[in-house]
Structure formats: C-alpha cells, structure tokens
Amino acid sequence: MSTGTLDKLPIGKSARILDVGGEAALQQRLLEMGLLPGVDVTVVRQAPLGDPIEVKVMGYSLSLRRSEAANVQIETTA
Amino acid sequence: MLEYITIAAIILAAAGFTGWRAWQTLRVASGSKACGGCEKCD
Amino acid sequence: MTEGHARHDRHVIALMGNPNTGKSSLFSALTGTRQKVANFPGVTVEAKIGTARFENSEITVIDLPGTYSMAARSPDERVATDALLGRIEGTPKPDGVIIVLDASSLDRNLYIGTQILEFGLPAVVALTMVDVAESRGITVDVAKLSETLGVPVVVINAPKGRGLDDLKSTLHRTLHHPGKVLELDYPDDFLRGVNTLYNELCDLGVKLGFKPTRPEALRLLVDGAGPFFDECEEVGGEEFISKFFEIREKAAGGRSLSMHEAQTRYGAIGKWMQEVKQTETREGRTRTDIVDGILTHKFWGSLVFIVVMGLIFQSIYSWSGPLMDAIDGSFGALGEWVGGMMSDGALKSLVVDGVIAGVGGVLIFLPQILVLFLFIAILEDLGYMARAAFLMDRLMSRFGLNGRSFIPMLSGFACAIPAIMGTRVIEDRNTRLTTIFLAPFMSCSARLPVYVLFIAAFVPQMKVLGFIELQGLVLFAMYWVGVFAAIPTALVLKKGILKSKATPFLLELPSYKTPRLKAVGRTLWDRGGSFIKRAGTIILAVSVLVWAAGYFPHSQEVDDKYDAQLAEVESAYADSILEFNPEEDADSLLAQYKAIDDAHEERVAEAEEAAEDDDALEQAISESKAERNAEMAKLAAKSADAEQALSHYADWKALEERRGEIENLRGGEHLEDSFLGRAGHVIEPAVEPLGWDWRIGMAAIASFPAREVIVATLGTIFNLGGDEDEESETLREVVKNAERKDGSKLFTLATALSIMVFFALCAQCAATLAVMRRETNSWKWPIASFLYMTVLAYIGALVTYQVAHALGG
Ligand SMILES: Nc1nc2c(ncn2[C@@H]2O[C@H](COP(=O)(O)OP(=O)(O)O)[C@@H](O)[C@H]2O)c(=O)[nH]1
Ligand SMILES: [Mg+2]
C-alpha cells in the first residue's frame, strides 16, 4: 500500500481516492465530477504532449490536467 | 418611364431591406435579440 | 390542485441534466423544433423554448444548457439555474422539470439529479442512453430507481423516437400529482447552517424582491459566491455578510462545505446504486477505448488528424467541382436567356449585371459549403470535438488559453457566431474574452467562396507529390493564415491585458457514437438552406445597391460619344458587310468560313483548359491556327467567289472586334463615371499598394457588412464594366480576363493572394461584431476587434502582395 497524488499514478494503474484538496472552486468541481474520497480511479492515457490525462471514474472518462490531478490524494493497493 | 419607376422601387426595397437588417443587427448587439443577424447559425 | 380535467392546460417544463445526455434530442422530438444536437459537451448554451402537445394540453418546453451541478460558475450554468427558478426575463417559470439522466453514467448524472429534486418541483426522470449502458454491461432497474427517488422514471431514446408518448403521459400525471420532495442525510451542523441561513434570507426576502427557497440557501451556503451572493451583499450589507461567514464556519466544522455536500450526495447515490444498478464486468475494451487508442495516440492520432484535414480540403475541390460547373453554367445560360428576352436598358442591366451576376456568383459555391459542413457534422456527431480539446489543451495553455477554448474555435471554422456563443462554457472571464476575440480569426464558411474563386482562377490545377492537389493545398494554407495570426494575438492578450490564473480544464470525454445519417443530413439541409436564403436576401439587396451605384448616373453624353464612334466604324465597313450575313445565310460559303474559324476558337479554348504549361498551350494554338488556314485555303481553292467571300469575312470579323472594343470602352467609362467609380477613385491610392485597383477596393468595402458579398459585387462590377453583348462568362473567367487601363491583367497570382489574405484576416461581418457586443456587454471589444483585424488584414495583404510581386507572381 502506498499513497501519492493522482498526477503521479502511472497509465493503466488504479487507485482509491483518500482526499481532495485544492483551491475552493477547483475542489468543488473535482468533487462534483465524482473525484471524492472512497472512489476508485484509473488512469487511462495521457495526451500526446503528456498533459492532460484521461481517467476513468464512476464509469465515465474524464480528462484533467496533471496540475489539477495533483490535488487528489490516492492510495494504491498492491 | 415605367422602367425607371420599377428600378426606383427595386432599389428602394433593397435599401429598405438592408436598413432593416442593420437594425436587426443592432438589436442583437443590444441583447434584445437572442441570436441572429446571421442565418448561418440556429 | 385541480384534478386535471381542465380543457386547455398550459404547462411549462424545463429539461435539465448533465451535458450531452440527450436533452436537445428530446426537446426536438417533443416540440418538433430543430435544436442543434451534437456529441460533445457545451452545444446548448442558451435556453431554447418550444411547444409540445399532449391530448388537450399544451406544454411549453425549455431546453437548458447541460450542467454537472447547480453551483453556477460559467454563464451557461447560470442560465440553467436561473431558468429553473424562473428568473430569466422572457422565459416563463417552469411548473415541472424533466430530469434527463444518462444510464451509462448514472452515478454522476444523479449528482445534479438530487440537487434538482431538492427544489421540489414536480419532476419526471427521463432515462437515456440505455442502449449504451447495456452494451457496457450495465442494467438499471427502472422500477427501483423510481421508488428510490420518489418520482416516475421513463426510459426514452429520443433519436429513435422511443418512449416519448409514455414520457408525455407520465409528465401529465405528475404535474397534477407531484411526488415527494427528496431529503438527504446531511451532517447535523451542515443542515443547521442551511436552516439558519434560510431564516436570515427570509428576513431579507422583502428587500430581495422574491421569496428565497431552502435549496437556494443551501447553494448560497456552499458556493459562498456568485450572483445571488452579490445580490444579498448589496441588500443585506456588512451585517448580513458577517453573519453569513459566521454561519458558514459553524456549518463547515473544520472541513470544506463542498466536501460535505459531495459526500452526502454521492454517499446516498452509492447506496441507491447497489440496489438499482447491476454491472456485469465485460472482458475486453469498449469501442470507445479502441477508437481512442488510435485517435488520441501520440503518432497515429496526429497522423489521422492530418489525413482527415487534408481529405477535407482535397474534397472541397474534387467533389464539388462538377456540381459547381453545372450551377455556374446554368446561371450563365439564365443570364443569356433573360438578356435575350429583355430590351437593352437599365432594367436589363439590373437583372443581368446586378441580380444574376451577383447572386448567381455566390450561389455557385453551395457545393463547397456543403462539403465543408458534411465533414464538420460527422466530426461533431462522432464525438471528436472533445478529443480535439484533450489533444490541444497543452498547446493552448502555452498561450494562456484552455483546451476548452479549442471547441468554440473549431466551430469558428463554420461560423464565428455560434463560436462566440459557445464560449459561455468557459468560466474564467478573461479566458472567455480572449477566446471571443480570437474566434473571428478562424476562417469561417463565408470566406470559403472567396478562397475557392481566386484559387480556382489563379492556382494551376496540378498535383504535388503525385496525389495532392495544389489547389487544395493552397486552400489548406489559407486556413492557417488566420490561425497563425491568432497565436501571437492570444499571447499578447493573455500575457498582457487579459491576464488570469490557469482555469480548470476538467472535461468529460463522451463515448463515440456512429454518426447518424439523419443528423448529418439535417445539418447539411439547414446550412445549405441558410446559405441560399442569405444569397436571396441580404446578398441580393447589396448586389442591387452596388449595381445602382455602379450604373448611375449613366450619362447620355457618354452614350452619344460611343454611338457616334460606332456609327463611324459601321459605315466604314458598310458596303462589304451588306453582302455578308453569316447568321441568316447558313449555307453560304461565308458561313463555312465562320464554321472553320469557330472550330479553331473551340480548339484553343480546349487547349487552354487542358494544357499543362504555357509552352504546350502556345504549340497547341499554332497547330490549330495552321489547321484553320489550311482548311480555309482548301475552301478558297474550290470556287471563284471564294476569294471575295474570304475578304468579306475578314471585314466582318474586324467590325465585330471593333464593336466589342467600343462597347467595352463604353461600359468602362460609364462605370468610371458612376457614383461607385467616383468613390473608387478616391480610395484607389489606399488599395494600390495591395495590388488592387479601385474596383476590387470598392468590392472589398461593400463586403464589410458580410464578407461573401465580395463575390457578388465583383460579378456585378465586372459585368457592368464589360461588353454587354458578349457571351456570358463564368465569374472565374471574368476575374481571369479583367484588365487594367493599360491593358495588363488586373489579377495576377500576387493580387489574388493579397485579396485572400485580406479576407482571411479582416473583420468583415457585422453580425459577429454585434454578437461580440452582446456577449461582452460592451462596445469596447467589437470596436477593438474591428480595428485590430482590419489593420492586420491591410498589413497582411500589403506584405503578401509586395513579396509575391517581387518574386514575380
Ligand atoms: N445511443 C443513444 N444516443 C443518444 C440517445 N439520446 C441522445 N443520443 C445522442 O447523444 C448525443 C448528445 O445528444 P444531445 O441531445 O445533443 O444532448 P444534450 O447535450 O443533452 O442536449 C447525440 O449524438 C445524440 O444523438 C440515446 O438514448 N441513445
Ligand atoms: Mg443540448
């Protein structure tokens, strides 16, 4: 078990969200889009220029910048 | 004579229509018309 | 509440839900009104109103922009919230709401679902995309969902027309017997905060001018900002604000309020889903995953992008060419036919030079417009737009912009107006303003006719690398002119006056959908229809006005002068010509001469079309000439009269030529002497450095209200100035043959390029400026845009002409 932030999660790996921070408006947006504690998230791919990334959360595809993903604390099992 | 009356009428109509369109465009600018001034978008 | 037996019920229903869930499709299906539907978030940015009928009742339906939450941050989200509360002027307050939920991502869809349900309006859930969900192994227990939410749930598929009747009758029932109001288990402190704030707001109520509701209190508490907050601050003053923050702090209990809200909602949703939803994990990747693997791939994605773009520009030429020629030909024939029917005079000139040459000149570009929109419609329906934003975000953020800005910019290639309206999804004001300012730089479909005309006339038809059409390549390059101008503009704006911190990107990537024939066809029909309508209205009107300015005063003096010249020339040849009339005496020897000569001309025309270069053309012409001379000599040798006939024929030809020259001079002098000509000479010095003469200058000025007018005005101006008896030419030929006073060709490649660059960069669209004013609420932006783009266009055209001219173009 190891903890980190979503922007560092390698492509193809899944993790569980521990906490979501960030500036108020961004945090609210992240939460509304389904990135909240207890939810599983998988990194699917990154854009050709390395940013943004695409993640699968709550069964849909969401793209966000690495800087935004850095506000999402995660833990990986195994 | 009739020819010139017809032509004058056509030119007046064209000028009137252009003026009306200019007026509509101003209405778009002032916000009293939601979209328009361009039939290209709906 | 009455029992619903009233004869003519009138109800107002709002459609709400996440973006891209099928609201607009449902709206169209219910009301029969067409509403733009496409597969990417942010298509609908304003409330649209339509009417649906059910039995005896009439239902007013409002299609709202899709949002993920009731917290309103961007202008399109505010529209949704305000409309639900009946606070938009001109939009009635809804009596009920259809909550549109996408079954394939039900959890996230229910987030705003719970927010709407808390408002307590009679509600029906329309469950869409059940087919998509099933293909992913997700099944939804509709009855359970309905029971849990406490409102009816109806499965629909609006594009296929399924479930609509059921939805209507359920809606009818619900409006008269609304369900229960949803209540969620908020933490105690949070709930207490909402209630305290609600009481405070009720005290403020009189001053606010409306009765606040509990869900509004919740929103105000959590969001702590926004237009409603500003209003309360204004009305309640310092006192209210300090109380507000005190309540907020207590309610938060050390955490963030949005975390409380999200955890309560998603907590409840998670619990419900365990009973309502069953997910059967499917092995293998979904279709969207596979397609995305290619389309967003580092290498393949870029390759596909380039190939698709190339294909679009190639097909604009190769597919629409034949159709365009057909339309062009029929307008030519129409002009000739009408010209033949009418007697010479001002009215004939109005019809032939003004209307047919003007409007016809624009209409021939219909095929190109359709091909362009065919591709745009397919990409939109497929779901590629959101991917384009994903691919471009990094690049756009270098210029201080956002990948989200890319979608409106892409739609700018169709028309700048929807592009500017589409910026409403951008929440940061400065980013939005920058995007609005950049949108008109994208080459909209109205520029296409200008490009096509000049490229077809001046860029040789040849292949590069064996398979790429040069003309298509140049067209592609024209589209980049605007983009290249936009980049430094963006940098200056974002690093200078419109600085702002990075805005969140967070964009849903919808699953790909097979483009539907019907939707694509509808787009083509609409766009084609409005293009024709434009040609028949505003372009027609401007053509008539330009004609009038170019025809009058049409002084008698000029006519007298040329009539005298004509009489002189005719009398010189009179004797000889009397004996020669090829039109009437078709079998005569002379007619045979004419036939031989005509055949020669035809061969030359063919050679001009087919020839690969000038040398080949010259050779073809001299060969044809030799053939003609040989045939004529053979004819002359046949009989004694032949010599004489040949000389009559030569005289006749010379006269025809002189007549043509005189008529040309007459037309030219009338035009120079006209109001348009006089104004043109005033502006000529300004456009000379661009390689233009006054006629092009005036045509460009006439196109400031709408840029495609140039094609019409060029047609009118050159037709007016030309020989009125000559066989009608296509606009391409007119442009090719136009001459300067000294007899040199008016349009060279350098002139054509300079015109195209000017049109690529210039702000020639009154409607765009008007929409800019409305969207920014200030004249500052449209004026700045107009000045900046016009100056840039002038400089761009100047540099292009001078460079191309120096290089010998
Ligand atoms: N497969 C499927 N596609 C749908 C359904 N409803 C709508 N769509 C498609 O989903 C896309 C988005 O629809 P639209 O009406 O624009 O959604 P809006 O953004 O909520 O207004 C379009 O491509 C529609 O054709 C449905 O029930 N099933
Ligand atoms: Mg919509």
> In this structure, which residue's CA is closest to atom 25 in ligand 1?
C159
Instruction: Name every residue whose Cβ is closer than 8 Å to that of residue C772 and which is 6 or more positions away in sequence.
Output: C420, C436, C781, C782, C785
What's the pLDDT at C1? 40
C587-624 tens-digit pLDDT: 566 677 778 888 888 888 888 777 777 788 888 888 88
Q: Which long-range contacts (CB under 8 A, 24 or more apart) does C207-215 make?
A: C207/C235, C207/C236, C208/C232, C208/C235, C210/C87, C213/C85, C213/C119, C213/C120, C214/C118, C215/C70, C215/C115, C215/C118, C215/C119, C215/C120
For residues B38 and C446, give the distance between their C-alpha atoms in angstroms, rounded to a whole number: 11
- Under 8 Å between Cβ of C502 and A52: no
* Per-residue confidence (pLDDT) for residue A29, from 0 to 100: 92
For residue A40, the model assigns a pLDDT of: 93
Q: Are residues C39 and C133 in the same domain?
A: yes
Query: Average pLDDT for residues C435-451, to the nearest whole number?
Result: 91
C139 CA → ligand 1 middle, Å:
19
* CB C729 within 8 Å of CB C453: no
Q: pLDDT tens across B1-42, in order?
A: 788 898 899 999 999 999 998 888 888 888 766 655 444 443
- C503 pLDDT higher than 80: no
Neighbours of chain B (3+ CB pairs under 8 A): C
Same domain for C148 and C213, yes or no, is no
Give yes or no: residues C209 and C134 share one domain: no
Residue-wise pLDDT for C185-195, tens only, equals 899 999 999 99
Asked if pLDDT for residue A8 goes beyond 50, the answer is yes
Q: Which of C628, C663, C698 is the last residue of a domain?
A: C663
Confidence band of C305 (pLDDT split at 50, 70, 90): confident
Q: Is C52 helix (H, G, I), strand (E, B) or coil?
A: strand
Higher-pLDDT residue of C253 and C155 is C155
B17 within 8 A of C537, measured Cβ to Cβ: yes
Cβ–Cβ gap C258/A31 under 8 Å: yes
Residue C723 pLDDT greater than 60, yes or no: no
φ, ψ of residue C413 in degrees (nearest 5): -70, -20
Query: Both C602 and C650 in a single domain?
Result: yes
Looking at residue C686, its pLDDT comes to 92
- Summarize pLDDT for C157-202 with one digit per residue, the tens: 998 889 999 999 999 888 887 777 888 889 999 999 999 999 888 8
Residue C266 domain boundaries: 188-279
C711 has a pLDDT exceeding 80: yes
- What is chain A's alpha carbon radius of gyration, rounded to the nearest angstrom? 11
The whole-angstrom separation of Cα C694 and Cα C82 is 53
Using pLDDT thresholds of 50, 70 and 90, give the confidence band for residue C709: confident
Give yes or no: residues C561 and C588 share one domain: yes
3-class secondary structure, C740? coil
Q: Which string of DSSP letters, residue by residue, matches C168-202? A: HHHHHHHHHS--PPP-----HHHHHHHHHHHHHHH
Q: How far is C391 from chain A (nearest CA, A)?
A: 6
Of A24, A31, A63, Cβ closest to residue C505:
A63
Q: Identify which of C16, C20, C156, C517 to mutate to test ligand 1's pocket (most ligand atoms within 8 A of the CB).
A: C20
pLDDT at C708 > cutoff 70:
yes
**Can you name the residues that pair with A5 across neighbouring β-strands?**
A73
How far CA C271 is from CA of C150, C221, C277, in Å, comes to: 15, 25, 10
Q: Is the peptide bond before C187 cis (omega within 30 degrees of 0)?
A: no
Largest CA distance in chain C: 121
d(Cα C348, Cα C340) in Å, to the nearest integer?
9
CB contact under 8 A, C777 and B34: no
Could you identify the atom of ligand 1 that is nearest to the CA of residue C132? 1
CA of C523 to the centre of ligand 2 (A): 15
pLDDT for C587 equals 59
Residues on chain A bordering chain C, Cβ-to-Cβ distance under 8 angstroms: 20, 24-34, 36-37, 39, 44-45, 47-52, 54, 58-65, 67-68
Return the pLDDT at C645: 67
What DSSP string describes B2-40?
A: HHHHHHHHHHHHHHHHHHHHHHHHHHHHHTSSSS-S-TT
Residue A30 has, within 13 A of its CA and on its CB side, a CA count of 31
The CA R_g of chain C, rounded to the nearest whole Å, is 34
State the distance from the centre of ligand 2 to the C-alpha of C23, rounded, in angstroms. 5
Q: How many distinct structural domains can be found in chain A?
A: 1
DSSP C16-48: EESTTSSHHHHHHHHH-------SSTT---S-E
Chain C residues within 8 Å of chain B (Cβ atoms): 34-36, 46, 345-347, 350, 414-415, 417-418, 421, 445-446, 526-527, 530-531, 533-534, 537-538, 540-542, 544-545, 548, 705, 765-771, 773-774, 777, 782
Look at residue C537 and tell me if it is in a domain: no
**C540 to B28: CB separation less than 8 angstroms, yes or no:** no
Question: Quick check: C728 pLDDT over 60?
Answer: no
Identify whether C771 is part of a domain: no
Distance C382 CA to ligand 1 centre (A): 11
Q: Could you tell me how many residues make up chain B?
A: 42
Q: ipTM of the predicted structure?
A: 0.95
Asked if residue C523 has its Cβ within 6 Å of ligand 1, the reply is: no
User: C538: buried, middle or exposed (CB in 10 Å: 19+, 13-18, 0-12)?
Assistant: buried
Q: What confidence category does residue C664 fall into, taking pLDDT thresholds of 50, 70 and 90?
A: confident
Output the six-digit token pair for C723.
Answer: 């020989």
pLDDT tier, C794 (very low <50, low <70, confident <90, very high otherwise): very high
Task: Please report residues of B whose CB lies closer than 8 A to that of C527.
Answer: 40
Residue C107's pLDDT is 94
Q: Which helix (H) or strand (E) holds C625?
A: helix C614-638
- What does A41-71 look like in DSSP terms, one character per residue? EEEEEE-TTS-SEEEEETTEEEEE-HHHHTT
Least CB–CB distance from A32: residue in C68, C302, C390:
C68
Do C625 and C564 belong to one domain? yes
pLDDT over 70 for what percent of chain C? 94
Check pLDDT > 70 for residue C640: no
Instruction: Tell me how far apart the alpha carbons of residues C145 and C163 are, in angstroms, rounded to a whole number.
Output: 17
- Same structural domain for residues C138 and C34? yes
Which of C16, C37, C155, C411 to mutate for ligand 1's pocket (most ligand atoms within 8 Å of CB)? C37
Out of C279, C295, C313, a domain closes at C279
Residues in CB range of C239: below 8 A, 6 or more apart: none
The nearest CA of chain C is from the CA of B5 a distance in Å of: 10
> How is residue C552 written in tokens?
């009058």
Q: Are residues C9 and C157 in the same domain?
A: yes
Alpha carbon dihedral C699, C701, C704, C707, in 10-degree steps, equals: 20
Q: Do B38 and C415 touch (CB under 8 A)?
A: yes
- Partners of A60 on chain C (C-beta within 8 Å) are 104-105, 108, 508
Identify the DSSP state of C539.
Answer: I
Residue C325: predicted pLDDT: 78
C501 has pLDDT over 80: no
Rounded to whole angstroms, how far apart are CA atoms C642 and C635?
7
* Cβ–ligand 1 contact at C335 (below 6 Å): no
Confidence category of residue C2, pLDDT binned at 50, 70, 90: very low
Asked whether the beta carbons of residue C541 and residue B18 sit closer than 8 angstroms, the reply is yes
The lowest-confidence range among C555-569, C627-641, C722-736 is C722-736
Contact C492, C388 (CB under 8 A): no
Distance CA C532, CA C249 (A): 61
Tell me what pLDDT residue A58 has.
Answer: 92
Q: Cβ separation of C530 and B39 shorter than 8 Å? A: yes
Nearest CA in chain A to C265: A32
pLDDT computed for residue C105 by the predictor: 92
For chain C, what is the mean pLDDT? 84
Q: Would you state the pLDDT for residue C265?
A: 95
* Residue C129 · residue C104 · CB < 8 Å: yes
> Which pLDDT belongs to residue B40?
41
Same domain, C22 and C141: yes
pLDDT at residue C92, as a whole number: 85
Is the separation of the CB atoms in C721 and C698 below 8 Å?
no
Cβ distance of B22 and C418 shorter than 8 Å: no
Distance CA C628, CA A2 (A): 92
Residues C38 and C163 in one domain: yes
| Closest CA relative to residue C457, chosen from C340, C356, C342, C608 | C608
C129 lines ligand 1 (CB under 6 A): yes
pLDDT in the model for residue B37: 43
Q: What is the pTM of this model?
A: 0.81
Query: What SS3 class is residue C695?
Result: helix
> How far, in Å, CA of C363 to CA of C372, rounded?
15
Q: Give the list of residues 6+ apart from residue C290 with CB closer than 8 angstroms, or none.
A: none
With a 6 A CB cut-off, is C82 part of the ligand 1 pocket? no
Closest partner CB to A60 (pick from C105, C297, C389): C105
Question: Which amino acid residue places its CA nearest to atom 24 of ligand 1?
Answer: C22
Residue predicted with more confidence, C227 or C809 = C227
Q: Please check whether residues C198 and C115 belong to one and the same domain.
A: no
Domain stop point among C614, C646, C663? C663
Domain for residue C522, yes or no? Answer: no
CB contact set of A47 (below 8 Å; sequence gap of 6+): A53, A54, A63, C296, C390, C391, C393, C394
How many contacts does B have with C, using Cβ atoms within 8 A? 92
| Strand C138-140, strand C277-279: pairing | antiparallel
Q: Which domain holds residue A10?
A: 2-76
One domain for residues C120 and C17 = yes
Query: Chain C partners of B40 at a C-beta cutoff of 8 Å?
Result: 414-415, 417, 445-446, 527, 530-531, 534
Closest ligand 1 atom to residue C381 Cα is: 23
Beta-carbon separation of C256 and A32 below 8 A: no
Nearest to C714 by CA among C365, C304, C299, C327: C365
Mean pLDDT, rounded, for C773-779: 89
Cα(A35)–Cα(C687) distance, integer angstroms: 59
- In short, whether C651's Cβ falls inside 6 Å of ligand 1 is no
C64-90 pLDDT tens trace: 888 999 887 777 787 888 888 887 777
Mutation for C interface: B26, B40, B42, most C CBs within 10 A = B40
- Whichever domain contains A62, its CATH number is 2.30.30.90
